[in-house]
Amino acid sequence: MPDRHVLVLAAGQGTRMKSSRPKVLHRLAGSSLVEHVLRAATPLDARSTTLVVGHQANILEHALQPSGINTLRFVRQEPQLGTAHALLQAEPFFTGVTGALVVLSGDAPLIGARTLKRLVETHEASGAAATVLTAVLDRPSGYGRILRHGGQFTRIIEESDASPEQQQVREVNSGIYAFDLAPLFATLHEVPEAGPKNERYLPTVFSLYRRKQLPVETVAAADPNEIRGINSQSELAEVSSIVRQSKNEELMATGVTLEDPATTYIDRDVDVGPDTVIHPGVMLEGRTRIGARCELHAGVRVVNSTVGADVTIRNFCVITDSHISDGAQVGPFAHLRPESSVGKRGRVGNFVELKKATLGEGAKANHLSYVGDATIGPGVNIGAGTITCNYDGAAKHHTTLEADVFIGSGTQLVAPVTVGKGAYVAAGSCITDDVP
């Protein structure tokens, strides 16, 4: 198999977003646009992955360094003078390199791994100088149009240059291509400046190929949504809803009940077990995993957390970087801050905040409590209004409640403090020393 290389164009400012953030770092279902693109390209097993950055290059490089792609390298395009100019900046990487270069757009996040594979395999099998991924859209406006003669691809015309007749063409350029590296860079140098900003457009390379009689193939995306590019906030919202809908469909197909998919926001990497019921307005974000037969009531938000099976989370809880074990019940109105954990059949009731707190099996904090920097043993009962006073103004201190402790309502536990196994603390106590 000939070598494959991947290059992602991500240097543009994204003027139409009207945002100070680099366009390709805007988020969609839990990941940035460019991360979606890089992920789709992973199965190509490319020998190298190059990202062309320019506008706010530092921010982008910083955000993507830890992406885990060990072949990832960056090249700067300054100033940004068009997509052909962007590609030319990577030329030094490719002197003497042969094989296929797959060019992707950092702002087209829905591209699927299977489509990319088909594009490259078709390209390699045909021996074409280049292969363009196209799609037929109901509303083609905003995209370059594919022009054909007798069915054969001839060239791409940008919308701004297209005649009214050419604008009727519904087959569009995805901005995703496979190029044979051999003739590519020499031809890119010949791409003339065009348009009001004197930019050099990558699609012009196909007109030059035609003149040189270099064969260009096309591959059509099976699902036209896959090639959707994001140029504005409104398109970002539209594409987000497409991603959300397909995630919801995927979960429902595996036996998850979504009472109202339209108001359910589940990130792409989230897992949910069968027979779990999700009420309206629930948000499951990041690397969250929810077990089987759970019930998540309206307005619950879970971020980067794991939830076991048979768990009930009542309305309006916020749960971040935490763990909830099988059979536990949480909420309503509970706040689990990072590094908290609720044991099997544990209970965390209304207006209870946990922070770096571990509750053992069957432990309960049912009402109006703050439990922070604490290890709570199995079977402990924390009465209403209990506070771990974990902060003395300078440092944080730990509270330990051993197994089967009973803490009466309105108790203050002044950390560092330990309450021994089976101890009983009466209501309204202020505990400043260890209790055996």
Enumerate binding residues for Ca ion (CB under 5 A).
Answer: 107, 229, 231
Tokens for 433, please give them.
């020393």
Q: Which stretch binds ligand UD1 (CB under 6 A): 5-13, 58-66, 161-169, 287-295?
A: 5-13
Q: Whole-angstrom Cα distance, residue 421 to residue 418?
A: 10
State in angstroms the smallest separation of the CB of 149 from ligand UD1. Answer: 19
**Contact flag: residue 9 with ligand UD1 (CB under 6 A):** yes
- Strands of the sheet containing 312-313, edge to edge, are 257-258, 277-278, 295-296, 312-313, 329-330, 347-350, 364-367, 381-382, 406-407, 424-425
Interface mask toward ligand UD1 for 24-53; x: CB under 6 A: ----------------------------x-
Question: Residues touching ligand UD1: how many (CB under 6 A)?
Answer: 29
Residue with smaller CB distance to ligand UD1, 86 or 294: 86
Instruction: Please return the burial class of 249, using the count of CB atoms within 10 Å of its CB with bins 0-12, 13-18 and 19+.
Output: exposed
State in angstroms the smallest separation of the CB of 23 from ligand UD1. Answer: 6
Q: Whole-angstrom Cα distance, residue 362 to residue 328?
A: 8
**Contact flag: residue 203 with ligand UD1 (CB under 6 A):** yes
Strand 424-425 and strand 406-407: pairing?
A: parallel
279 included as an active-site residue: no
Question: Which residues are paired to 30 by β-bridges?
Answer: none
Q: Whole-angstrom Cα distance, residue 280 to residue 265?
A: 9
Q: Which stretch binds ligand UD1 (CB under 6 A): 102-110, 215-223, 260-268, 336-344?
A: 102-110
Catalytically annotated residue among 149, 297, 335, 367:
367
Query: Any idea which residue has 């103004």 for tokens?
Result: 393
Q: Which stretch binds ligand UD1 (CB under 6 A): 10-18, 147-155, 271-279, 382-390?
A: 10-18
State in angstroms the smallest separation of the CB of 155 from Ca ion. Answer: 19
Q: Which of 25, 202, 282, 313 binds ligand UD1 (CB under 6 A)?
A: 202
**Contact flag: residue 158 with ligand UD1 (CB under 6 A):** yes
Instruction: Please return the burial class of 70, using the count of CB atoms within 10 Å of its CB with bins 0-12, 13-18 and 19+.
Output: exposed
Which residue numbers are catalytic? Answer: 367
